[in-house]
Amino acid sequence: MDATIAVALDGHPHRLAAGTTLALLLTSLRYEPSAVATAVNGRFVARSNRERFELHEGDSVLLFQPIAGG
C-alpha cells in the first residue's frame, strides 16, 4: 500500500500520497496556479516554489483567493 500523509487543508483533515508537492495538491483540487495564493504552516509559499515544495505529515495548507474589499 502506498504511503499517505495527513495534512490540514483549510483547517480540515486531508490525506495525500507521500511526496505530494504543493503544486500537485493544487492540480488535484483543480485550481489554476494563478488563481490562488498558498501558505504552509503560516508561511507564504510563492507560486514559483510550489513544484519543489513537498508536503509532510501534519502540514497546514491554506489557499487564498482575491475578493472584494474595503
Partner 1 sequence: MHREPQVETDTWQVDGVTLCSRFLLGSAGYPSPQTLREAIRASGTQIVTVGLKRTLARGGDNGFVAIVRAALAEQGARLLPNTAGCRSAREAIELAMMARELYGTAWVKLEVVGDEYTLQPDPAELVEAARALVREGFVVWPYCTDDLVTCRRLLDVGCALLMPWGAPIGSAQGIANPLALRTLRARLADAILIVDAGIGAPSHAARVMEMGFDAVLSNSAVALSGDPVRMAHAFGQAVAAGREGWRAGLIPVQDFAVATTPVGGERVLVGLTDPPIRDPHTTRASRK
Return residues touching partner 1 (CB under 8 A).
9-10, 12, 30, 34, 36-39, 42-44, 46-47, 62-70
Nearest approach, Cβ of residue 33 and partner 1 (Å)? 10
* Of 62, 58, 36, the residue nearest 47 (C-alpha): 36
Nearer to partner 1 by C-beta: 30 or 52? 30
Instruction: Residue 52: name the closest of 22, 17, 7 by CA.
Output: 22
Which residue in this structure is represented by grid cell 509559499?
45
Q: How far is the CB of 64 from partner 1 (least distance, A)?
A: 5
| 18/5 Cα distance (integer angstroms) | 6
Query: Residue 5 or 63: which CB sits closer to partner 1?
Result: 63
